[in-house]
Chains A and B, each alone.
Chain A
Amino acid sequence: MYVAVKGGERAILNSHKLIAETRRGDGQVPELSVRQIGEQLGLAVDRVMTEGSVYDRELAALAIKQAQGDLVEAIFLLRAYRTTLPRFAVSEPIDTATMLVQRRVSAAYKDIPGGQVLGPTYDYTHRLLDFALAAEEGVGLPEAPEAEAPLDEGMPHVADILDHEGLIEEERPDSEGAEVFDLTREPMSFPAGRDQRLQNLARGDEGFVLALGYSTQRGYGGNHPFAGEIRMGEVSVEIVPEELGFAIDIGDVVVSECQMINQFEGSKEKPPQFTRGYGLSFGHNERKVMAMALVDRALRAREMGETAMYPAQDEEFVLYHADNVEAAGFVSHLKLPHYVDFQAELNLIRKLRQEHQDRLEKEAAE
C-alpha cells in the first residue's frame, strides 16, 4: 500500500535541477548534440529504437541524451512518447529478401549465392582499446573503399537453399488474413502464438534474451543451432493508405535478421529435418537477433512435441519477464514510500518476537 505523502515538492524540484546539472557534466566540455549521438553512438540508438519499439533515430538519440546514456531509461522515454502519437496504418510485411544488404554472413555454408559480406562489424577487430580514438585531434574522416560493382540484387535467404531439398521445415503463412497479435493493444495471453512471442522478443531486453539464448546453448534447452544466416541492411516499408487504395513506399528502415537452423529428430508425423528459429530487429543489433532466434526456437517446444523443461522453453516465464520497461518499473516501485506497509510489518515482527521470547521463558520455567 502506498500513501500520498506531501512535503517533497521543493526537494523534487531541486532534484530535477541537480540531475540537469549532472547530465550536462563539466561545463568546460562541449555539450553533446542529438545529431552527434545519432551519428556516433549509432548502435545505442539501434538498441533504443528496437526495445523502445519506435523507429526514429532522432527521437532515440534524444532519449539517450536525456537519460544520460541509461539505455533502459531511454527505452522507457521512447515508449512513453509513442503513446502520444496516433497510428496511421499497419505496414505490408517487410521483404528481407530484397534488402539493400550491408552485411550478410552464413556459418552453415561457405559458398552462398551473393557471397559472404562482412560489412561493418567488430567481429574481426582485436578488442584492444584504440587510443587513436582518444586523441585530441580526433580520427578525421575515415573512408571505406568501394568495390567496382555493387552486390548482387536480391540475395536469396540461405534457408531457402535447404528448403528446395525439403531438409528444413517450410516457413509459410498459417492462414491468409488472420489477425496478428499486437502487444501494444491487447494484454498477453496464453498459450501464445508465434506472432505474440516474436513481437515480445523483438521488444524484449537484450540482456535477458541473450542470457536465455545462452542458456539453451549450455544445455538448458535442446537446441543445436547453426547460424544459417545473419543479414543487416535497408528494407523499404509499404503501406496501403485508405484514401489511395494502392501500396506506397514510405521510406526505408535498417533491420537485422537472423535465421538459426536447428536439429529436429522428427516425430511420428514428420521426418527428421532442420527446424528454424528467427530473429528480427530494427537497426544493427546482431547479438540481439541471434539470441532472439535461439529463444524463438526454444519456445516452439510445444508445437514440436518437445517436453518443455527449461526456462527458455517456458513461454509464460519468458514473455512475462522479457520487457525491461515493465521489469524496471516493478523493481523500481520498491523505491516508492511503503511507510504504512512497513509499519505494519514492524508491528508484526515485534509481536512475533515477543511471543517467541514468552515461549522461551515459559519453557525455561518448566
Chain B
Amino acid sequence: MNAQAKAAPDPQPTRARWMSTLARATSTELEAAWEKIEEHPRYALLRQPETGLVMVRGLAGGTGSPFNLGEMTVTRCAVRLADGTVGHCYAAGRDKRKAELAAVFDALMQGAEAGRVEETVITPLARRQAAERERVSRKAAATKVDFFTMVRGDNPG
C-alpha cells in the first residue's frame, strides 16, 4: 500500500521519510515511545515549540500555475542533543509537546541510536499510518461503481 505515495527528488530521502512519519504521529504515540526509552537523552531547546502558519498552494487546473489556497496551522521545534546533533520538527496542527518529542526523535535518528529508534519508534508508527491509509482507501473502494449494461428484453421475470 502507498505509505509513501510521492517519491520527490530529495537530497536526504531517508531523513525526510522519518520526519514525515514523526509529523504524522499523535502526541500520545510519541509520549508512549518516549516513556519506553530507559535512559532519556539530555537535550536543549534550540527553538521553543512555536505555532504558526504555512500558506498552502494549489495549481490552477491541478497542473498549471500556482495560487494561494489558504493557510494551515503548523508547529515547529528544534532541539540539540548533548553531542551537538540537531533535530527539527514541522508538523501540521498546534501540538507543541508532539513537535518537541518529534524533534528529539529526529535528532536521535541521526546518531548511534538510529537503528533502535527506527525499529521501536519509526517503523511501528509508519506501519500504523500505512494501515490507516489502507483502511480509508478500502472503505472508499467499497463505494466504487460496478457498471453493467442492461440488455433490452433480458429482464428476469
- Give the docked Cα–Cα distance between A198 and B69 (Å): 8
Mask of B5-44 contacts with A, CB within 8 angstroms, 1/0: 1101011100110011001100000000000000000000
CB distance from A322 to the nearest CB of B (A): 14
Asked if residues A251 and B23 are in contact (CB atoms below 8 Å), the reply is yes
Q: From the candidates B23, B74, B137, name the one contacting A88 in the complex (CB within 8 A).
A: B74
Asked if B138 lies at the interface with its beta carbon under 8 angstroms from chain A, I say yes
In the complex, chain A residues whose CB is within 8 Å of the CB of B139: 102, 144-147
- Give the docked Cα–Cα distance between A97 and B61 (Å): 11
Most buried by B among A116, A148, A248: A248
- Give the docked Cα–Cα distance between A49 and B61 (Å): 21
Q: Which residue of B lies closest to A103 (CB)?
A: B140
- A118-B143, A149-B141 in contact; A58/B54 too (CB < 8 A)? no
List the count of A-B residue pairs having beta carbons below 8 Å apart: 257
Asked if residues A241 and B88 are in contact (CB atoms below 8 Å), the reply is yes
In the complex, chain A residues whose CB is within 8 Å of the CB of B54: 87-91, 237, 239, 250
Asked if residues B66 and A253 are in contact (CB atoms below 8 Å), the reply is no
Q: From the candidates A93, A102, A120, name the one contacting B66 in the complex (CB within 8 A).
A: A93
- Give the docked Cα–Cα distance between A148 and B137 (Å): 10
In the complex, chain A residues whose CB is within 8 Å of the CB of B6: 95, 98, 236, 249
Mask of A269-313 contacts with B, CB within 8 angstroms, 1/0: 000000010101110000000000000000000000000000000
Q: From the candidates A93, A118, A243, name the one contacting B57 in the complex (CB within 8 A).
A: A93
In the complex, chain B residues whose CB is within 8 Å of the CB of A61: none
Q: Which residue of A lies closest to B146 (CB)?
A: A115
Mask of B67-98 contacts with A, CB within 8 angstroms, 1/0: 11111111010100000000010111110000
Name 24 interchain pairs, CB-CB below 8 A, sorted by A: A54-B73, A56-B93, A92-B57, A93-B57, A96-B62, A110-B147, A115-B145, A119-B143, A147-B141, A151-B144, A153-B5, A160-B63, A173-B64, A173-B65, A194-B64, A195-B60, A202-B67, A243-B78, A246-B12, A247-B8, A250-B20, A253-B92, A276-B61, A278-B62
- Chain A residues with CB under 8 Å of chain B are 49-50, 53-56, 58-59, 82, 85-98, 100-103, 110-111, 115-120, 144-151, 153-154, 157, 159-160, 171-174, 178, 180-184, 194-196, 198-199, 202-203, 233-234, 236-239, 241, 243-253, 255, 257, 259, 276, 278, 280-282
